Amino acid sequence: MRKPLLLLQLLVATLALVPPAAAGPTHVSLTLDWTPNPDHIGFYYARAKGLFAHAGLDVAIRAPSDPTAPLKLVAVGASDLAVSYEQELFFAAARHLPVVAVAAVVPRPLNSIMAISAGIRTVADLNGRTIGITGVPADYAALDTALAAAHLKRTSVKVVSVGYNLLPALLAHKVDAVLGVYRNVEGIELEQRGLNPTVIPLDQAGVPTYDELILVANSNRLRTNPAYQDTVRRFVQAFLQGTDRARHDPRGSLAILGSVTSAEPKFLARSTRATLALLAGPRGTGCLAPTEWQRFGAWMYTRKLIARALPAAAVLTTRFLPARCNQP
């Protein structure tokens, strides 16, 4: 009886000296807001340069088949994280979807008013002109705000709903200006055509500033699942490192983007440079400003885009961001 017991004790002691098998990386799914483009360089840079891997993460990045799907996928747990828009998060919160912003991806408005006529340099110059919009409610809210800031009314202009044919309508001179185009996309395309466009980002036209793109997580899982909390923390840290390094490595960023998108090389080069300059806010990359979100949410409520005012705490958390983000 003593011999088997002794053998068992030796086996246990031997096993105690053997290190456990290394745990594999945590698999993370990220759904983009659209097809890969320079806005997403922080994610692709972090993956290409091993920053996610160093954080113990195996990140799968996918484009959505339906642009309205990312928030829904995170809400039901079909995607761990997603990229979306600040105003979409307010819409989602109004519908009680369990989603919350954990970092800024592009911390300033890209959506702009654009014109190619030499006679239009300010919003006030739109008086008596025709402006094209996609026709979604947010367009009317932004337009009315911009016009009011320039002491104009909607009746001061002719509004034409052109769907998503904004640039063709502008180039064909069917409209004098458009709202709903991006300064780092359509703005670059117009310049490459040899034009000198007027580009007025919405926060320079009277609309409260906001984060164009944000990283979104599932709020229920953050509240109840410590492993998910840790995954989000590691992901955000690596993503911010990737964004910071990408901003100072235009050539490397362009090479990485060229491997994940089929965009025309000359356009991609100029769009990448323009986008990299927009990826850091006053406190650096990734920071979310609750007071600015509160102001933007109040604007959405005032413009009847949402039925009730929502506190910033209902749509964002800063717990995964570096301390610099919370400095006054």
pLDDT tens across 23-73, in order? 689 999 999 999 999 999 999 999 999 999 999 999 999 999 888 899 999
Residues 280 and 134 in one domain: no
Within this chain, do residues 231 and 309 fall inside the same structural domain, yes or no?
yes
Mark whether 216 and 101 lie in a shared domain: yes
**CB 57 within 8 Å of CB 81:** no
pTM of the complete model: 0.91
Boundary (domain end) residue, out of 179, 204, 229: 204
Examine the fold and report which residue of 174, 204, 234 is the final residue of a domain before the chain moves on.
204
Same domain assignment for residues 155 and 257:
no
Same domain as 115, residue 102: no
Q: Tell which residue, 91, 31, 23, has the closest CA to residue 57.
A: 23
pLDDT in tens, 195-229: 999 999 999 999 999 999 999 999 999 999 999 99
pLDDT given for residue 2 in this prediction:
46
What does the mean pLDDT of the chain come to? 93
Residue 86 shares a structural domain with residue 101: yes
User: For each of the chain's 328 residues, which pLDDT tens digit applies?
Assistant: 444 444 444 444 444 444 443 468 999 999 999 999 999 999 999 999 999 999 999 999 999 988 889 999 999 999 999 999 999 999 999 999 999 999 999 999 999 999 999 999 999 999 999 999 999 999 999 999 999 999 999 999 999 999 999 999 999 999 999 999 999 999 999 999 999 999 999 999 999 999 999 999 999 999 999 999 999 999 999 999 999 999 999 999 999 999 999 999 999 999 999 999 999 988 899 999 999 999 999 999 999 999 999 999 999 999 999 999 987 6
Q: Is residue 19 part of a domain?
A: no
CATH number, residue 35:
3.40.190.10
Residue 86 to residue 210: CA distance in whole angstroms: 7
Contact 77, 225 (CB under 8 A): no
Domain boundary among 149, 178, 204: 204
- One domain, residues 98 and 119: no
In 10 A of CB 197, how many CB atoms?
22
172 and 293 both lie in a single domain: no
Q: Could you tell me whether strands 99-106 and 213-218 are parallel, antiparallel, or unpaired per DSSP bridges?
A: antiparallel
Q: Provide the domain limits for residue 244.
A: 26-108+211-326
